[in-house]
Structure 1
Amino acid sequence: MEDRSVLTRPAPGPDRTLRYGEDADQVADLWHSEGPTVALIHGGFWRPEYDRAHLRPMANALRGAGWNVASIEYRREPGRPGPTLDDVRSALGEIGPSVVVGHSAGGHLALCAAPDDVAVLALAPVADLRLAHRLDLDDGAVADFLGGPPDDRAALDPVRLPGRPGRVTIVHGAGDERVPLDVSESYVSAHPATSLARIPDAGHFVLIDPESEAWPIVLRELTALVS
């Protein structure tokens, strides 16, 4: 079974928290540095039980590497994808990042909601909703998020959206059982300008774990997007 310890590993809290709306979930945690700004969008298959707290180890590691970090929270209401996308767009508008990084469902949100001129680093993203639905990822997560099957929701499906003008890099573990590599490969087939870094044998959570062997690859690809 894959090591999930990063999800509950203690890490220092943010320097401050930005509020971008009135709802309790319309906030972003900020870690200050002198470098470019990266916005993080957490995963969790859009479910309310998963929040931004599990990205604290990643946020601290990025700040230690010189990045100014914003970790976004957003409303997670089953069957109501609109508020989720609205929140991510609003938060990114307030933050103005150089790069948006999203993991898993957060990768889906990054590919859908990042401004056109901002680079995206998608880590094991749910980038093809129809394929993810057919694979029944996380026991029907796609249908739970959308309120039904994804066939007629092309505007919310990265693989069916027009190619992004900004740079897009995907990092995906070949051993990922939560979001199989096939999902990212489907996106790249539809958008061949996308760069795909496959990590042999890597699972799902190592991509957000600064203590993992995969972390230097994630950091390398992130740095490349602003060079």
Structure 2
Amino acid sequence: MTPPRKPDIPWTPMEWPDLTARSRPDPDHQFRYGDDSLQVVDLWLPAGRPAAGRWPTILMVHGGCWQSAIADRRLMDWVAADLRERGFAVWNIDYRGVDRDGGGYPGTFRDVADAADLLRIHADAHALNLSRIVALGHSAGGHLALWLAARHRLPAGSMLAQGDPLSIAQVVSLGGLPDLAAVEASPDNGCGTEVIMQLVGDRPDRFADTSVTCLLPLGVPIDLVNGRDDRIVPARMAPAFAALARERGDTLTLHEIADTGHVELIAPDTAAWDATVAMLHRIMPPA
């Protein structure tokens, strides 16, 4: 647990090199769900065998403002490795962002869905527990993790609707951006506003099957973990979405972490990550 900051020592936010300059761990397996270099999934498995027969499994989704040039799944390597050491299996997915051929609408969403559904094919071979999957996403990945849990709510006729989507039991969003309309209307968000049109397409009903606010209630518990000093995701976005989700009938808990920006949310040995790990232990104790 990171000790509390002394009052006389000013807090300094982490920058991306503070995380990415660390020695990079490696996953245990990699699987493909398409021909593009980003249509892959990394599987992180704890050592030994699970005492309960199956590993508790976390479906992980990276952020990067929905743009592959900003981030890919490897940005989550450090927290994936940390969870592996704590007895969790991690299914860390990648996808084509809006800046890649085939990305945007519907490609980015179809990639995320296909990568998630691939988990079922490999579950038995690697003792992955499908009965209580937690989707955990950071930043734009928080939106996509919530969207995965909402797929059963997609409107009929949507290009994104698929039969029998992977069941998600709970969602943990770390500095997420679930309300795409709010992001598009907020020039102070760290992703900008033009990326939303690239993500959802130029359609009259562009948010109906892409923005989580239009798909509420999800019907599963939601945890939002947000840094009070996040300069990428404006602080007002989490409480506004939380209020709407509760109004629509979902169970949602908002965790606001002091002295925390955007990077700290996915950096081991920070107060924010310690809080997330404690939450995961409560949701599904490790094997």
Question: Does the TM-score normalized on the shorter chain lie above 0.5?
Answer: yes
The residue number in structure 1 matching 2:118 is 94
Question: What CA RMSD, in Å, does the superposition of the two structures yield over aligned residues?
Answer: 2.1
Q: Structure 1 CA distance, aligned partners of 2:241 and 2:201?
A: 23
SS state of the match for residue 110, structure 1? helix
Deviation at 1:172, TM superposition (A): 0.7
Q: How is 1:130-149 mapped onto 2 (pairs within 5 angstroms)? A: 130-136=181-187, 137=189, 138-140=191-193, 141-148=195-202
Aligned length: 227
Summarize the alignment of residues 13-162 of structure 1 with structure 2, pairs less than 5 Å apart. 13-33=26-46, 34=50, 35-49=55-69, 50-78=71-99, 80-96=104-120, 98-114=133-149, 115-136=166-187, 137=189, 138-140=191-193, 141-148=195-202, 152-162=206-216
Secondary structure of 1:9 counterpart: coil
Could you report, residue by residue, the CA deviation over 1:103-124 in whole angstroms, capped at 9, with x for unpaired residues? 0000000111234542111111
- Of 52-61 and 1-10, deviating more is 1-10
**2: CA distance, partners of 1:225 / 1:194:** 13
State the Cα distance separating 1:151 from its structure 2 match: 7.3
CA gap 1:47/1:59 in 2 versus in 1, 3 angstroms: same
Offset of residue 42 of structure 1: 0.2
Change (3 A) 1:116 1:15: closer
Q: How far apart, CA to CA, are the structure 1 residues paired with 2:22 and 2:264?
A: 13
> Do the aligned residues in 2 keep the contact of 1:173 with 1:201 (CA within 8 Å)?
yes
CA contact (8 A) 1:42 1:102 kept: yes
Distance 1:10 1:163 in 2: 41
CA offsets per residue over residues 160-207 of structure 1, 9 Å max, x none? 212111221111111111012211112111111211111123111111
Could you tell me the TM-score, scaled by structure 1's length?
0.91
Q: CA, structure 1 residues 165+82, in 2 after alignment: closer, same or farther (shift >3 Å)?
A: same
Q: CA deviation at 1:86?
A: 1.0
Matching residue's letter, 2:60: L
Check if 1:172 corresponds to 2:192: no
Give the CA deviation at 1:8.
Answer: 4.2
Given that residues 129 and 142 in structure 1 are in contact (C-alpha distance below 8 angstroms), is that contact kept between their aligned partners in structure 2?
Answer: yes
Give distance in 2, aligned partners of 1:10 and 1:52: 16
Provide the secondary structure at the position in 1 that maps to 2:237. helix
Q: Work out whether 1:212 is the aligned partner of 2:270.
A: yes
User: Is 1:128–1:157's contact at 8 Å kept on the other side of the alignment?
Assistant: yes
Structure 1 residue aligned with 2:13:
2
Matched to 1:12, the amino acid is P
Distance 1:94 1:116 in 2: 12
Residue 217 of structure 2 corresponds to residue 182 of structure 1? no
- Residues 92-101 or 184-193, more deviating: 92-101
- CA contact 1:158–1:187 (8 Å) conserved in 2: no
Supply the distance in 2 between the matched residues of 1:214 and 1:51 (Cα, whole angstroms): 21
Give the structure with higher Rg (CA).
2
Question: Is the 2:93–2:115 contact (alpha carbons within 8 Å) kept by the matching residues of 1?
Answer: yes
For structure 1, which runs of at least 5 residues remain unmatched after alignment?
none
Distance in 1 between the 2:255 and 2:135 partners?
17
Identity in percent: 31
Q: Which has the higher helix share?
A: 1
Alignment partner of 2:25: what SS? coil
Are 1:191 and 2:242 matched, yes or no?
A: no
1:121–1:170 CA contact under 8 A, matched in 2:
yes
| Residues 1:91 and 1:13: Cα distance change in structure 2 (over 3 Å) | same
Moved over 6 A (4+): none
Given the two structures, how large is their TM-score scaled by the length of structure 2? Answer: 0.73
The answer on whether the counterparts of 2:264 and 2:272 sit within 8 Å (CA) in structure 1 is yes
| Distance in 1 of aligned mates of 2:31 and 2:204 | 33
Q: Name the SS for the 2:236 alignment partner.
A: helix
